Chains A and B, each alone.
Chain A
Amino acid sequence: MTDLTKLTLAQARDGLRAGDFTAPELTEAHLAAIDAADTLNAFVHKTPDLARSQAGFAQTRVRAGMSPDLCGIPLGIKDLFCTEGVPSQAASRILDGFRPPYESTVTTQLFKQGAVMLGKLNMDEFAMGSSNETSTYGNAVNPWRRGNDATPLTPGGSSGGSASAVAASLCLAATGTDTGGSIRQPAAFTGITGIKPTYGRVSRWGIIAFASSLDQAGPMTKDVRDAAILLRAMSGHDPKDSTSADLPVPDFEAMLTGDIRGKVIGIPREYRMEGMPQEIEALWTKGREMLQDAGAVIRDISLPHTKYALPCYYVIAPAEASSNLARYDGVRFGRRARLGQGDGITDMYEKTRAEGFGPEVQRRIMVGTYVLSAGFYDAYYNRARKVRTLIKRDFELAFADGIDAILTPATPSSAFGLGEMVDADPVQMYLNDVFTVTVNLAGLPGISVPAGLDAQGLPLGLQLIGRPWEEGDLLNVAYSLERAAGFLAKPAKWW
C-alpha cells in the first residue's frame, strides 16, 4: 500500500470514499508517524485512543456512503483550542492540568463531520511569539534543514507545532490561529499553505483568547485545495460568538477554477522594506509574473500607513491580552502558586502569575497594562485605534479602486535557527510579522502559499490578501499561483 501519510486531505477523502483504504488504516499510519517524530516536538498531547474510536465511527459513515469531506480525516489541533477532557493549555504553565469540560465550536464542527483528532499541537505560549520558543513544552522543530547543516530551525510561530506537523506529514491538516501572522508566517517557514479568514468567519468560542479583535482561526494544509475544504468545515455562524458573521459559507473548493483572467492584483510599494533580502524581492517579482502570465492585471498600489501597522499592533494586541489574561488568577482553573504563611489574596495573584506566565507573556501583559493605564490611555491606546482605522482605510480605498487581491511576501526571511534570536531586542522578533499584521488590523483574509526555495534550500512563501468575505476568490487566486509556482519540495526525513 502507498504511504497514506503522503496523501493530501482531498486525496484521502476521495480514497476513503472509493474504498481504497479505511479510516482506521489512515489514522494508524499517522499515529505511527507521530510516534516516530518526537524530536520535532510538534504533538504535545497525543490522543490515540480518541483517534481510534473516532476513526472507527467515521468508517461506518464512509461505508454507509454518507461521509462529509472531513469524515475519517486525521487532524492535529492547536493547543489553543479547548477540547473536552483533553489537556488544552495554550502552551502555558499557568494552565497546567486544565481539562476543559466543553468543546470549542470549531472542533465541535470538525468532529460532527467525522474528523479524527490525533492530538494537540505545540505553539508559542498564548500564541505570543513568532518562533515557537515561548512554549512551556519546549521548542517545536522545523522538519526543514539548511541542506546538510543539522542546526535545528524554527517552524515559526505561534502555530509552530501545526506547521511542523503538516510539513512532516504527521497529520493531513491542522488547525491554527492567527492574531498577527501566526498561521501565515509558520506556513511560509515550512512550505505549507495557511489561510487566515476574514475576521468573524470562524467562531472564536472555546479558543483561548489572546487579542479578541484580531484573533481568527484557520486551516494549515498541504495545498490550497485542502485549505478550501478545511476552511469551509471550520466556518459558519455561531450564536456563542457575538462577532461571528451570520453569512452563508460557500463551497470554497468548488470555486477553485484556476481562472484568474482579468483579476486585478495590487502590488503595494510600501511592502518593499529597506534591507529586504534579495531572494524575497526576487520571489515577489516571480509571483507577480506568474499571476500576470495567468491573465491577471498587475497594478502598483500604495498602502501609505503600512509602516505604522507593527507599532499599532504592539499597542492593541498587548492591551487586549492584558485584559483577556486577567482571568488567570489561580482561582478558577489552572495552576496556583504555593503560598507562604500569611500570604493574602494579592500575593496569591502575583505569585501565581509570576510563576505561571513565561517572560514574553508577562512582558506583553505589562505593556498592555501600561498603555491602558490612567494618563496613557489616550496617548497610546486611543491613538493606536485611530491609526488602525487609517490602516483599514488604505485597504478599502485600494479595493474600491478595483483591486481584487494584493500580492506581498509572506515573511521578511526564511526560517531562522532556534535560539538565534535569544539575545535580540523583542522588537527584532516582532519584525517577523511585518507583512502579515496589517491584515489582522484590517480584519481581511490573507493566505500564505509556498512559492520557492532560498539558496539554503528553505521554503519561502508569498502572501495574497483578499477582500472581506471573499475567501473563495482569494483561494482561487492562490490556487492559480500554486499551480504556476509548482512547489513540490518536501523536507528530507531526518527525524
Chain B
Amino acid sequence: MAIDTDTARKVAHLARIRVEEERLPALAQEFDAILGFIEQLNEVDVEGVEPMTSVTPMRLKRRQDVVTDGNQQAKVLLNAPDAREGFFAVPKVVE
C-alpha cells in the first residue's frame, strides 16, 4: 500500500518530530520502501500462533512493596535543560 504525504504528516506528528512540508514526499517514499519490505510477513500462516510476549519463558520477579529510593531531587534535576526552584520548567501548558 502506498503511503501518501498526509499519512507521513500524521505519523510525524504522532511521533512528535517536526518534518518540514517539503520533506514529506521523500519521507512517504522511505516509509513505502520499508513497509513494502515488511509486507512479506503476510505470506506467513500465523493461524493459531500466539504472539510472543517474552522471549525466554520467565515470570517477572516480585519484590516487597517498599520504598527503595528517593530524596534525590538534585540528581534528578541535574541534567534538565531548564530547572527552576526544584522543578522541571517547560513552556506554558495551560492558558
Does the CB pair B79–A426 fall under 8 Å?
no
Q: CA–CA, A390 to B17, complex, Å?
A: 34
In chain B, residues 35-82, which have Cβ atoms closer than 8 Å to a Cβ of chain A?
A: 35, 37-44, 46, 49-56, 58, 60-61, 63, 72, 75-76, 78-82
Does the CB pair B34–A367 fall under 8 Å?
yes
Q: Given contacts A322-B15, A392-B52, is CB(A308)–CB(B88) below 8 Å?
A: no
Does the CB pair A331–B91 fall under 8 Å?
no
- Picked from B16, B35, B41, B51, the residue with its CB within 8 Å of the CB of A389 is B51
Does the CB pair B49–A386 fall under 8 Å?
yes
Does the CB pair A346–B16 fall under 8 Å?
yes
Residue among A314, A350, A351, A386 with most chain B CB within 10 A: A386
A67 at the interface (CB under 8 A from B): no
Q: Which residue of A lies closest to B72 (CB)?
A: A101
Binds B, one of A112-120, A219-227, A239-247, A261-269: A239-247
Does the CB pair B49–A390 fall under 8 Å?
yes
B6 at the interface (CB under 8 A from A): no
Q: Given contacts A312-B41, A363-B30, A385-B51, is CB(A331)–CB(B90) below 8 Å?
A: yes
Number of interface residues of B (CB under 8 A): 51
In chain A, residues 82-136, which have Cβ atoms closer than 8 Å to a Cβ of chain B?
A: 97-102
- DSSP majority for the A interface? helix
A69 → chain B closest CB, angstroms: 27
Does the CB pair A380–B18 fall under 8 Å?
no
Does the CB pair B81–A331 fall under 8 Å?
yes
A213 → chain B closest CB, angstroms: 6
Q: Given contacts A245-B58, A353-B16, A354-B17, is CB(A101)–CB(B78) below 8 Å?
A: yes
Collect the chain B residues with CB atoms within 8 Å of residue A473's CB. Answer: none
Residue among B33, B46, B72 with most chain A CB within 10 A: B46
Collect the chain A residues with CB atoms within 8 Å of residue B18's CB. Answer: 347, 350-351, 353-354
A493 at the interface (CB under 8 A from B): no
- Picked from A334, A348, A349, A371, the residue with its CB within 8 Å of the CB of B79 is A334
B11 at the interface (CB under 8 A from A): yes
Binds B, one of A46-54, A337-345, A448-456: A337-345
Q: Given contacts A243-B58, A308-B44, A367-B31, is CB(A315)–CB(B17) below 8 Å?
A: no
Does the CB pair B17–A353 fall under 8 Å?
yes
- Picked from A200, A311, A336, A425, the residue with its CB within 8 Å of the CB of B41 is A311
B66 → chain A closest CB, angstroms: 13
Q: Which residue of B lies closest to A372 (CB)?
A: B14
Number of interface residues of A (CB under 8 A): 75
Q: CA–CA, A332 to B19, complex, Å?
A: 23
Does the CB pair B91–A350 fall under 8 Å?
no
- Picked from A246, A322, A339, A343, the residue with its CB within 8 Å of the CB of B61 is A246
Does the CB pair B90–A380 fall under 8 Å?
no
Residue among B56, B60, B91, B93 with most chain A CB within 10 A: B56
In chain A, residues 273-331, which have Cβ atoms closer than 8 Å to a Cβ of chain B?
A: 305, 307-308, 310-312, 314-315, 322, 326, 329-331
Collect the chain A residues with CB atoms within 8 Å of residue B27's CB. Answer: 363, 366
Collect the chain A residues with CB atoms within 8 Å of residue B8's CB. Answer: 366
Does the CB pair A213–B50 fall under 8 Å?
no
Q: CA–CA, A112 to B90, complex, Å?
A: 39
B68 → chain A closest CB, angstroms: 9
In chain A, residues 363-415, which have Cβ atoms closer than 8 Å to a Cβ of chain B?
A: 363, 365-367, 369-371, 373, 380, 382-390, 392
Q: Given contacts A198-B56, A239-B63, A443-B55, is CB(A307)–CB(B40) below 8 Å?
A: yes
Q: CA–CA, A366 to B17, complex, Å?
A: 8
B92 at the interface (CB under 8 A from A): yes
Does the CB pair B17–A98 fall under 8 Å?
no
Does the CB pair A383–B41 fall under 8 Å?
yes
Collect the chain A residues with CB atoms within 8 Å of residue B53's CB. Answer: 385
Does the CB pair B79–A336 fall under 8 Å?
no
- Picked from A214, A311, A314, A348, the residue with its CB within 8 Å of the CB of B91 is A348
A13 at the interface (CB under 8 A from B): no
A-B contact pairs, 9 of them (CB 8 A): A101-B78, A331-B90, A332-B88, A333-B81, A354-B17, A383-B42, A386-B46, A389-B50, A392-B55
Known: A339-B91, A345-B93. 4 other contacts (CB 8 A): A311-B40, A312-B41, A333-B79, A367-B34
Report the 7 A-B pairs with minimum CB-CB distance, sorted nearest first: A443-B55, A385-B51, A333-B79, A336-B81, A350-B18, A354-B18, A386-B46
